[in-house]
Structure 1
């Protein structure tokens, strides 16, 4: 396969949404929405709470109900009895097992057997390194629900440089989030309100859920740029959800994936026939989509691999032209920004 070139464009700083919509004085489902026609590339402008105008009875909307965890911690760093540093930052990257996680430890290189103390009740030991990666595997002193309880008690949400205020974890959740595990919010679902979900169902538009627990996307150093195929994430599709998806497809109706995480999950299952597991699927312009007929997503930054995925729905010239229009019209980017429906 030929290398896929990611799209590049200039994004003005003032279009990086630094505040949640609620802090800008609007409801979460009243953000703007740019609608793209997959075939013609035609662009129209609307608001997200009119999503039902673009769908038909029998269509099926698939959402990711993974719940965002607070994945950034402060810890003491110890080597044997010696205190190396009283306070370093630790970012969880992805869960391996009940008590082991890959983590980014923002400090001088830690060694295997080094210890991290988060509180009197929670510590972790560095058990292995990842090749060609700054990530380390750490084993916590707790596991399962006890570990998640401590994570929620001690951690803070991942925030990138365009977020200038420490918004609480509540702002990084979708209204339907129920399965803890995402290091970064599956943000395409953030704009949904219960009222909008109810309105879709009233019109005969189906709503169902999968889980994909998102990993840490940025390793704080451009030296460690992750390739899409190196981004391994845990997913699960309930059997009854897949049955409903297949019935929708068989009836000639559309399956709309809410977010790149949902596309990745559905297309992984279509390719390997497995409803639960790990995926490193890279969806790009030459990828033959088998399930997703449309995508609802936010706006992605220049050269992001997510743009490669959007190129599997719509041609790159159409996508670039639409993004130029979005910039000119002042749409807002990132998890607190506006929405883009490609259908």
Structure 2
């Protein structure tokens, strides 16, 4: 792998995981795991099921229990009484309120006042747009659990071009997901099974949960590249969990964040003192991490902002060397791919 610039590299197309592990004959917790030492850059290769071998009693693993919603919907597009299109795609991007979402309406030009008519007597009105973004603000005729129930009945999971065929929503859930709201799966937690979680607990490795609802990362047009600062996400951390984090750090043990979403939520709370709210925190190599001592994550595509965050844990040089090895060793990328433990 030749780095053409920092955190850019060539990823062969065949290393994009297009099938869930279960469809490749693997249990979800038996995907491969590359272990990277933060200090020395030393690399080990293993299976995710052996995670407990790399953690110590008293360490704290923090998971994101946000549940993936099927965020791709289809609607009839109307203006006044005129039907402009019988079927347009509507991708939910971020929840603003009980009945209001940012959404990508794949039609042009969509104006304020336009109506999106869905089945099950559900409709939404376009009430505004996000500045410097193709996202529209839409208000549904239902709200809260009633709205979520219809979204689950109508929608499909967001699927990117490397996933060649549709998979049921279950494949886009972590086993512990409990709070609906993520537009894309918080995929770092996908490789965990209940068996592995119990194995960690039997070794006195602590497990806690937070929520961060992930937004839509790709707006279907390279012209619209969302920076982390533009991608606001809603998070919530309980007082009990924060207490456990502070106790763990005070006792000299490590806090291991499962996914960039968890790092973002924890470091936001540390920075602004608020256990819930919105975050647009951007973390890179210059950011002094206060909460996370290690991260469990997937493998990220070239130039992804997630790679900038990883460089807060480990030097860009060691990170690129590790990715070089991952490519040579034929690791698989993206939400159905292999895992990376950085400690």
| Fold agreement, TM-score > 0.5 | yes
Question: 1:180-221: per-residue Cα shift (whole Å, max 9, x none)?
Answer: 000000000000000000000000000000000000000000
CA distance in 2, matches of 1:328, 1:292: 29
Matched, 1:42 2:61: no
Aligned equivalent of 1:99: 99
> Is 1:6–1:305's contact at 8 Å kept on the other side of the alignment?
no
Query: SS of 1:224's equivalent?
Result: coil
Matched, 1:8 2:8: yes
> Is 1:259–1:297's contact at 8 Å kept on the other side of the alignment?
yes
Aligned equivalent of 2:280: 280
CA distance in 1, matches of 2:24, 2:120: 39
Matched, 1:78 2:84: no
> Is 1:105–1:135's contact at 8 Å kept on the other side of the alignment?
yes
> Is 2:120–2:150's contact at 8 Å kept on the other side of the alignment?
no
Query: SS of 2:145's equivalent?
Result: helix
In structure 1, list runs of 5 or more residues that go unmatched.
none
Aligned equivalent of 2:191: 191
Q: TM-score, normalised by structure 1?
A: 0.98
Aligned equivalent of 2:269: 269
CA distance in 2, matches of 1:109, 1:236: 36
Aligned-residue offset at 1:305: 0.2
> Is 1:76–1:118's contact at 8 Å kept on the other side of the alignment?
yes
Q: What is the root-mean-square deviation of aligned Cα atoms in Å?
A: 0.6
Matched, 1:168 2:168: yes
Aligned equivalent of 2:60: 60
Aligned-residue offset at 1:6: 5.2
Equivalent runs, 1:221-300 vs 2, <5 Å: 221-300=221-300
Query: SS of 2:84's equivalent?
Result: strand
In structure 2, list runs of 5 or more residues that go unmatched.
none
Q: TM-score, normalised by structure 2?
A: 0.98
Aligned residues: 339
Aligned equivalent of 1:136: 136
My pick for the range that moved more, 242-251 or 5-14, is 5-14
Question: 1:89-130: per-residue Cα shift (whole Å, max 9, x none)?
Answer: 000000000000000000112000000011142110000011
Could you list the structure 1 runs, at least 4 aligned residues long, displaced by more than 2 angstroms after superposition.
none
> Is 1:104–1:136's contact at 8 Å kept on the other side of the alignment?
yes
CA distance in 1, matches of 2:252, 2:109: 54
Aligned-residue offset at 1:159: 0.1
Query: SS of 2:215's equivalent?
Result: coil
Aligned-residue offset at 1:131: 1.1
Aligned-residue offset at 1:88: 0.5
CA distance in 2, matches of 1:215, 1:19: 23
Matched, 1:109 2:109: yes
CA distance in 2, matches of 1:39, 1:269: 26
